[in-house]
Amino acid sequence: MPGPVLHEGAVVQCAHGGRAAPPSSYPRVLVGGLPVCVQQVPHLVAGCPLPPPPAANGPCVTAPWTTGSLRVSVGGGLPLVLFDSRATAVPSGAPLLVVSSQQRVVAT
Protein backbone atom coordinates (compact mmCIF):
# COMPACT_ATOMS: atom_id res chain seq x y z
CA MET A 1 0.00 0.00 0.00
CA PRO A 2 1.43 3.45 -0.85
CA GLY A 3 2.45 5.71 1.99
CA PRO A 4 4.67 8.65 2.89
CA VAL A 5 8.38 7.84 3.19
CA LEU A 6 9.83 8.08 6.70
CA HIS A 7 12.84 10.32 7.13
CA GLU A 8 15.24 10.99 9.96
CA GLY A 9 13.00 13.71 11.40
CA ALA A 10 9.83 11.60 11.62
CA VAL A 11 8.26 11.26 15.07
CA VAL A 12 8.09 7.57 16.01
CA GLN A 13 7.22 6.13 19.43
CA CYS A 14 6.84 2.75 21.08
CA ALA A 15 3.34 1.94 22.31
CA HIS A 16 4.38 3.07 25.82
CA GLY A 17 5.52 6.55 24.74
CA GLY A 18 9.27 6.02 24.35
CA ARG A 19 10.89 7.93 21.47
CA ALA A 20 12.25 5.80 18.61
CA ALA A 21 14.86 6.96 16.10
CA PRO A 22 17.16 5.31 13.59
CA PRO A 23 20.84 5.04 14.62
CA SER A 24 21.70 5.71 10.97
CA SER A 25 19.85 6.49 7.77
CA TYR A 26 20.56 6.56 4.04
CA PRO A 27 22.27 9.95 3.51
CA ARG A 28 22.34 9.89 -0.29
CA VAL A 29 18.55 10.23 -0.62
CA LEU A 30 16.93 13.23 1.07
CA VAL A 31 13.25 13.90 1.73
CA GLY A 32 12.45 17.35 3.05
CA GLY A 33 16.20 17.88 3.43
CA LEU A 34 16.63 14.86 5.73
CA PRO A 35 17.95 11.34 4.96
CA VAL A 36 15.40 8.54 4.44
CA CYS A 37 15.02 5.52 6.73
CA VAL A 38 15.61 2.02 5.35
CA GLN A 39 13.98 -1.21 6.51
CA GLN A 40 17.26 -2.97 7.39
CA VAL A 41 18.15 -0.44 10.11
CA PRO A 42 16.08 -0.97 13.27
CA HIS A 43 15.00 2.04 15.29
CA LEU A 44 16.44 2.45 18.79
CA VAL A 45 13.97 3.29 21.56
CA ALA A 46 14.81 5.69 24.39
CA GLY A 47 12.71 6.69 27.37
CA CYS A 48 10.29 3.75 27.40
CA PRO A 49 8.59 3.73 30.84
CA LEU A 50 7.65 0.02 30.75
CA PRO A 51 9.20 -1.59 33.86
CA PRO A 52 11.66 -4.48 33.62
CA PRO A 53 10.86 -8.05 34.77
CA PRO A 54 9.22 -9.28 36.92
CA ALA A 55 6.74 -6.37 36.81
CA ALA A 56 6.62 -6.32 32.98
CA ASN A 57 8.85 -7.25 30.04
CA GLY A 58 10.31 -3.86 29.22
CA PRO A 59 11.62 -1.34 28.60
CA CYS A 60 11.57 -1.28 24.79
CA VAL A 61 15.13 -1.08 23.46
CA THR A 62 15.12 -1.67 19.71
CA ALA A 63 12.50 -2.22 17.01
CA PRO A 64 13.29 -3.95 13.72
CA TRP A 65 11.03 -3.11 10.79
CA THR A 66 9.14 -6.10 9.37
CA THR A 67 7.60 -4.31 6.40
CA GLY A 68 8.81 -1.64 4.02
CA SER A 69 8.35 -0.39 0.48
CA LEU A 70 7.83 -3.09 -2.14
CA ARG A 71 8.57 -1.15 -5.30
CA VAL A 72 10.92 1.67 -4.27
CA SER A 73 14.41 1.03 -2.94
CA VAL A 74 17.68 2.87 -2.45
CA GLY A 75 21.32 1.86 -2.44
CA GLY A 76 20.99 -1.24 -4.55
CA GLY A 77 17.85 -2.77 -3.09
CA LEU A 78 17.24 -1.39 0.41
CA PRO A 79 13.47 -0.97 0.94
CA LEU A 80 12.31 2.33 2.44
CA VAL A 81 10.33 2.60 5.68
CA LEU A 82 6.86 3.99 5.02
CA PHE A 83 4.29 5.66 7.28
CA ASP A 84 2.31 2.39 7.48
CA SER A 85 5.36 0.09 7.89
CA ARG A 86 5.32 -2.26 10.87
CA ALA A 87 7.96 -2.69 13.58
CA THR A 88 7.85 -4.66 16.83
CA ALA A 89 9.81 -3.46 19.85
CA VAL A 90 12.16 -5.85 21.62
CA PRO A 91 11.81 -7.18 24.30
CA SER A 92 8.24 -6.01 24.97
CA GLY A 93 6.66 -7.02 21.65
CA ALA A 94 4.80 -3.70 21.42
CA PRO A 95 4.37 -2.01 18.04
CA LEU A 96 6.06 1.21 16.98
CA LEU A 97 3.69 4.03 16.16
CA VAL A 98 4.52 6.64 13.53
CA VAL A 99 3.11 9.89 14.90
CA SER A 100 4.17 12.28 12.15
CA SER A 101 6.27 12.35 9.01
CA GLN A 102 6.69 14.34 5.85
CA GLN A 103 3.70 14.01 3.49
CA ARG A 104 5.07 15.06 0.08
CA VAL A 105 6.99 11.96 -1.03
CA VAL A 106 4.97 8.74 -1.31
CA ALA A 107 6.24 5.27 -2.23
CA THR A 108 4.77 1.79 -2.65
Q: Report pLDDT for 99.
A: 97
How much is the pLDDT for 97? 98
The chain-wide mean pLDDT, for the chain, equals 96
Report the predicted TM-score, pTM, of the whole model to 2 decimal places: 0.93
Helix count and strand count (H, E) for the chain: 0, 11
pLDDT score of 76: 93
Strand segments, DSSP code E, in the chain are 3-4, 11-14, 19-21, 26-31, 34-36, 43-46, 62-63, 73-74, 78-79, 96-100, 106-107
Query: pLDDT for 85-103, tens place per residue?
Result: 999 999 999 999 999 999 9
pLDDT at 1 over 80: no
